[in-house]
Amino acid sequence: MNQLSTLSEIKEYEDSGMMTLPPNTYEALRIAAKNNSDRVALHFFLDGSAYQNAITFSYKELLGKVNAFANMIYHLGLDNEAGVSVLLPNCPAYVITLFGAQARGVVNPLNPMLELNHLADIINAAQSKIIVTLASNTTMPYLEKARALVKLTPSVEYILTVDLGYYLGEKTSSEIEVINGVHFLDFHHHLDQHNMDSLDFKCTKKYDSIASYFHTGGTTGSPKLAQHSHQNELVNAFMVDKCLQNQSPKTFLCGLPWFHVNGVVVTGLVPLLNGHTLLLATPIGYRNEGLMENFWKIAAHYKVSFFSAVPTILSKLLNVPIGGADISSLENLLCGAAPLSEKLLTDFQKATGLQIIEGYGFTEGTCVSTFNPLKGNKKNGSVGLALPFHQMKAVIIDDNGDYLRDAEINEQGILVAHGPNVISGYKSEIHNKNAFVAIADKRWYNTGDLGRQDADGYFYIVGRKKELIIRGGHNIDPKVIEEPLSKHPFVAAAAAIARPDAYAGELPVVYIELKPNTSATVEELMLFAETHILEKVAVPKKMYIIPQMPLTAVGKIYKPELENCQIKEVFETALLKIPGIDSFAISFDMTNGRIVKIFVICSDNVDYQNLINKELGYYPVKYLIIKS
């Protein structure tokens, strides 16, 4: 069997040709249900403290619910191009909605943490006719948002409400509410009124039909919706499973939200389209205290073999004792969305015996583009090899974003991607400008990430040209912070950057330059920021007022200098805590990415390497310790 453990094995597999894929995700689920009719497709429990109390769906039952939902929205008048926006926590209704909406229209997952006006902009951009959301819930007030949204979203005609009490056996309401001409209907009550055996219409979705609109980018300007085709999602789902080398049905635990591609694709489409079992662990996933406290018991109880997480989750799980839980079923986990420090990787693997697969991906590439091979060589600091049929390379481009040449082996360049997993474009043409690079008559997506590829085909991420701040897996566009602050009458310039953090990976901070002859305090400007920055996780944790921004030769703000200031401040604070180090100095080597050089003076009997690694090892920053 081809292990897909080397570049040559991947190329050999590609040369054999792409497997025959179903035309759409609905048909793929139908085939999975036909082949695995009575197998458990989905487990779901509401609280990790009561993880044994799960509701379960077989593949036959899940497909029946998907048929009923697709038929329901068909009879509500949804056409093939209309959007179905989903404002839900993780629950079976989300799974049913995603597949049912893709069979008839286009699904549009929404991040419930976004502010009302931005949610409205996304729904309007998706031209959604239906919103699926929670019924009244004291801890998750989604319904209140939905009621407010009807006044801001003229295309919406129906809002379907999901009562989580249904999963406890409670009877749900069939009452109808009408606001601004929009009909509110109970999801489960109306679902039960429709045909579960088959579709009442012919599903005409093809490879190139749009399956999903995933919001990506910031919260200013028109929403940037990545258009996933059915082919994008099918290829990514089947190739990830191929690389995981699952020879028999497995159980995938999902703790990441389904408004994020990692949650939907890696722990959604991959298991359900390949005949595995999905364990949907609580509506709020890893944020549920009971799930985290009982994680190893849950893994043992459901014989979990795989889960996907971000570094912050691994940090938390390190502090949860495995105890007597039998976690022998656990094989590996995929960690992505944010940089993983070498120390966290080593400590977690040592404590659990689990293999961490470091990967790399982006919404525009559906989800996963590379990961380290299960059976092959795993190189430190590498995000691995490109998945089969997922083309990626480092290139040199000019200041206008035009292609000049391919980068040499180990030469730093911009990473670009092409293949059946890459979107054809964003929904709004305005966002496609400069998003793609023309190379030999083909469009390659410009990831904006700086990287290199070694002689064995392994990729390394060395920086981000896009300047995103990744806080615990949440991407923050600096513009979300800079643009509101720039509207303050005393602010001449604002520069938002990432501050290294041992837990979240990165935190947003901002530097401010005031206009001449004006004055403002950090406290005043922070209050302004908290009021005007729509994305709450983007509100800066620290603010610095400086006399003048560092500038490049052409007058642009030079953020690397500000980032170095943050790294130096964080590292100095940590190093001062270490006993036995007489003095230290920090410098930066920016030749090939950023490497922090730490020069230390201490006695020979001081275990300085170990002491420093304990303090700095969990920060996502590369450093080199030099004893002077």
- What pLDDT is attached to residue 622? 86
Residue 220 has pLDDT above 60, yes or no: no
Mean pLDDT of the chain: 90
Per-residue pLDDT for 284 more than 60? yes
Rounded to the nearest angstrom, the gap between the alpha carbon of residue 94 and the centroid of all alpha carbons in its chain is 17
pLDDT above 70 (res 221)? no
Mind listing the pLDDT tens digit for each residue in 560-585? 899 999 999 999 999 999 988 889 99
- Of the two residues 585 and 591, the one the predictor is more confident about is 585
Question: pTM of the predicted model, to two decimals?
Answer: 0.83
CA–CA distance, 570 with 206 (Å, rounded to integer): 51
Residue 506: pLDDT over 60: yes
Rounded to the nearest angstrom, the gap between the alpha carbon of residue 299 and the centroid of all alpha carbons in its chain is 22
pLDDT at 230: 97
Residue 267 to residue 255: CA distance in whole angstroms? 8
| Angstrom distance (rounded) from CA 318 to CA 322 | 9
Average pLDDT over residues 131-154: 91
> Which of 479, 465, 363, 478 lies closest to 111 in space, CA to CA?
363
Query: Could you give the C-alpha distances from 622 to 309, 389, 561, 601, in angstroms and in order?
Result: 22, 31, 16, 20
pLDDT given at position 60: 98
Q: What pLDDT sits at residue 466?
A: 64
358 vs 250, more confident = 250
Instruction: Tell me the domains of the chain and their CATH numbers.
Output: 7-371 (3.40.50.12780), 469-549 (3.30.300.30), 562-627 (3.30.70)
pLDDT by residue (tens digit) across 391-435? 999 999 987 889 999 999 999 899 999 999 999 999 999 899 889
Enumerate the β-bridge partners of residue 453: 459
Mean pLDDT (whole number) for 510-527: 93
Mean pLDDT of 318-332: 91
Q: Measure the CA–CA gap between 350 and 307, rounded to whole angstroms.
A: 17
Say how far apart CA 56 and CA 626 lie, in whole Å.
Answer: 56
Beta-bridge mates of residue 216:
224
Judged by DSSP in three states, 205 sits in coil
pLDDT of amino acid 172:
67
Most confident of 92-96, 457-461, 597-601: 92-96
The answer on pLDDT for 79 being more than 60 is yes
pLDDT of residue 312: 79
Q: Where does the pLDDT of residue 33 fall: very low under 50, low under 70, confident under 90, or very high at 90 and above?
A: very high
Q: What is the 3-state secondary structure of 58-71?
A: EHHHHHHHHHHHHH
pLDDT at 565: 94
Three-class DSSP category at 125: helix
pLDDT tops 80 at residue 554: no
* Closest of 302, 260, 259 to residue 277, by C-alpha: 302
Looking at 103-117, 252-266, 467-481, which range is the least confident one? Answer: 467-481
Q: What is the mean pLDDT of residues 293-308?
A: 96
Dihedral sign, Cα of residue 158, residue 164, residue 165, residue 171: positive
- What whole-number percentage of the chain has pLDDT above 90? 63
Residue 187 has a pLDDT of 95
Say yes or no to pLDDT of 110 above 80.
Answer: yes
Residue 120 has pLDDT above 60, yes or no: yes
Q: Please determine, for residue 219, whether its predicted confidence score (pLDDT) is greater than 60.
A: no
pLDDT(625) > 70: yes
The distance between the two most distant Cα atoms of the chain, rounded to a whole number of Å, is: 79
Q: 243-247, 440-444, 577-581: which has the minimum mean pLDDT?
A: 243-247
Q: pLDDT band for position 30 (50/70/90)? A: very high
pLDDT tens for each residue of 45-62: 999 999 999 999 999 999
Lowest mean pLDDT among 67-71, 96-100, 482-486: 482-486
What's the pLDDT score for residue 174? 62
